[in-house]
Amino acid sequence: MKRLPLLIFTPILILIILNGCKTNEGKANQDISITAKNICEKVAFYQEKDICYLFIVAANKNINVCDDSKEEFSKNMCYAYVAAYKKDIGFCQKIISPASQDFCYRKVAAAKEDLSVCEKINIFQEKSTCYSEVAAAKGDLSICDKMTDEFDKNWCYEIVAPVKKDLEICEKISDSSIKKECYVAVAATTQSTDSCERLNNQIDKDWCYEEVAKSIQDPNLCEKIVDKDNKDLCYSRVALIKNDKAICEKISSQHWKDSCYEQFAKAS
């Protein structure tokens, strides 16, 4: 299954990003926040939206934020999101890595809702992914329908469905694994467990409930999770997202409870 590389950030870059986002004063900052949100809402992968927003807001407060990163991968991702925000492929030219540069073109293509930008991508599979991301950004299901490769078509449906918040698009997917991921993605973006109920496997349902719980920052949804360890992990993750260590008390396992509190101690 195609997936974006895991976004790994150094503590220094995280601090730079967070410090860049602390202030929200003045109309200029508000305009940047609104525009950043509009761009990041076009990101097809719901797990990626917050990272997109942080990079854009931070970069607008300090344009050197990308260059300040000592970690090459994080720097490249920063360039990609700033390029998307400014709808300027010139920032992609700063990236040396061909794979990261193709990623940058994908982000710009989605931001501009322009399939022609995808033609700059060299890796065929990345180009197909770019078409899908533009389809998601435009909310244009016809782009998916025209794809001839079954896997690419399924992938396209998967990322358009949560953007359009339309569970029925998932039903067009022929691959059961991709369809399952589509249900979970729609659940997270609609902030509803309705699509979770279409999953047959309890492990998958538990995963779906956690994604919704994290999305709406509601620890009560973790109660729906059957597996004890997964339920405790759900509480811990919601606690961190909500920045509410009182939620750690809901964890039954002493090991996971201690781990939850330790995460807060490290963040303070």
Total domains in the fold of the chain: 1
The pLDDT of residue 77: 83
Q: What is the mean pLDDT of the chain?
A: 83
Within a domain: 254:
yes
- 10 φ, ψ to 5°? -75, 155
DSSP 119: T
Residues spanned by the domain of 250: 191-268
Q: What percent of the chain has pLDDT over 90?
A: 63
Within a domain: 148:
no
Within a domain: 256:
yes
Within a domain: 257:
yes
Closest-CA residue to 134 (of 120, 154, 157, 114): 114
Long-range contact pairs involving 234-242 (C-beta distance under 8 Å, separation at least 24): 234/209, 234/210, 235/260, 236/260, 236/263, 237/210, 237/213, 238/213, 238/214, 239/264, 240/264, 240/267, 241/214, 241/217, 242/217
Residue 150 has pLDDT above 50, yes or no: yes
Within a domain: 48:
no
Separation between Cα atoms, residue 151 and residue 172, nearest integer Å: 12
Within a domain: 217:
yes
Q: Work out the pLDDT band at 38, boundaries 50, 70, 90.
A: low
Within a domain: 63:
no
Query: Is 245 within 8 Å of 260 (Cβ atoms)?
Result: yes
User: 0.85 exceeded by the pTM?
Assistant: no
pLDDT per position as a tens digit, 39-83: 666 665 655 665 676 666 666 655 566 777 678 887 888 888 888
CA distances from 41 to 35, 184, 229 (A): 10, 18, 32
pLDDT per position as a tens digit, 157-167: 999 999 999 99
Q: Work out the pLDDT band at 3, boundaries 50, 70, 90.
A: very low
pLDDT per position as a tens digit, 105-139: 999 999 999 999 999 999 988 999 999 999 999 99
The pLDDT of residue 203: 95
Residue 186 has pLDDT above 90, yes or no: yes
Within a domain: 199:
yes
Give the other-Cβ count within 10 Å of 56's Cβ: 26
Query: Is 159 within 8 Å of 136 (Cβ atoms)?
Result: yes
The pLDDT of residue 239: 96
pLDDT per position as a tens digit, 88-100: 999 899 899 999 9
